[in-house]
């Protein structure tokens, strides 16, 4: 059961999200809880407690914080990632999302499809960076990384 069954996203210090960002957050959390792979590797000759896991995701002191517990609230792992490697891809993702949300209202289907392909490409890049940053801390598949990247973007909103 190496998976996440609950997510606590600490977005309390952020401004109220736009309707589009709120929708992205809801979809990412729903999809993540429906299907994900989250494996904590063995560290210093210690096996991590078995999952499933609860994940607390927040930004504290300019660091992305993963706080992982078991379903009975026992600590399973905590790690902090620098936000630096994510800054440009998050900025690019927000810009392409703005273009996409605007295009959906007025553009031709072919233009919407082109923008959506670019959006998926940037999203995949964010997921790849996340997988690299999690190396040695947690193993996630591509779909899980994509959904977690969406949540990272939500935590960057307004910041």
The whole-number mean pLDDT for each consecutive block of 10 residues of the chain, a chain of 159 residues, reads: 92 77 88 95 84 93 93 93 92 89 90 92 96 95 95 76
Return the pLDDT at 159. Answer: 47
Cis peptide before 52 (omega within 30 of 0): yes
pLDDT at site 158: 53
pLDDT score at 68? 97
Whether the CB-CB separation of 101 and 115 falls below 8 Å is answered with no
> Are the C-beta atoms of 152 and 141 separated by less than 8 Å?
no
Instruction: Give me the residue spans of the domains in the chain.
Output: 4-156
Name residues whose C-beta falls within 8 Å of residue 113's C-beta, 6 or more positions apart in sequence: none
């Amino acid at each position: 059961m190496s998976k996440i069954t609950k997510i606590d996203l600490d977005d309390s210090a952020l401004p109220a999200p736009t309707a589009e960002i709120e929708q992205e957050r809801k979809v990412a959390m729903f999809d993540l809880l429906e299907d994900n792979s989250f494996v904590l590797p063995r560290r210093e000759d210690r096996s991590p407690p078995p999952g499933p896991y609860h994940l607390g995701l927040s930004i504290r002191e300019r660091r992305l914080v993963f706080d992982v517990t078991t379903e009975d609230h026992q600590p399973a792992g905590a790690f902090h990632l620098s936000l630096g490697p994510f800054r440009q891809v998050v900025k690019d993702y927000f810009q392409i999302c703005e273009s996409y949300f605007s295009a959906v209202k007025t553009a031709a289907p072919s233009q919407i499809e082109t923008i959506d392909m670019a959006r998926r490409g940037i999203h995949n890049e964010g997921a790849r960076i996340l997988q690299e940053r999690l190396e040695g801390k947690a193993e996630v598949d591509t779909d899980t990384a994509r959904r977690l990247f969406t949540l990272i973007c939500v935590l960057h909103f307004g910041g």
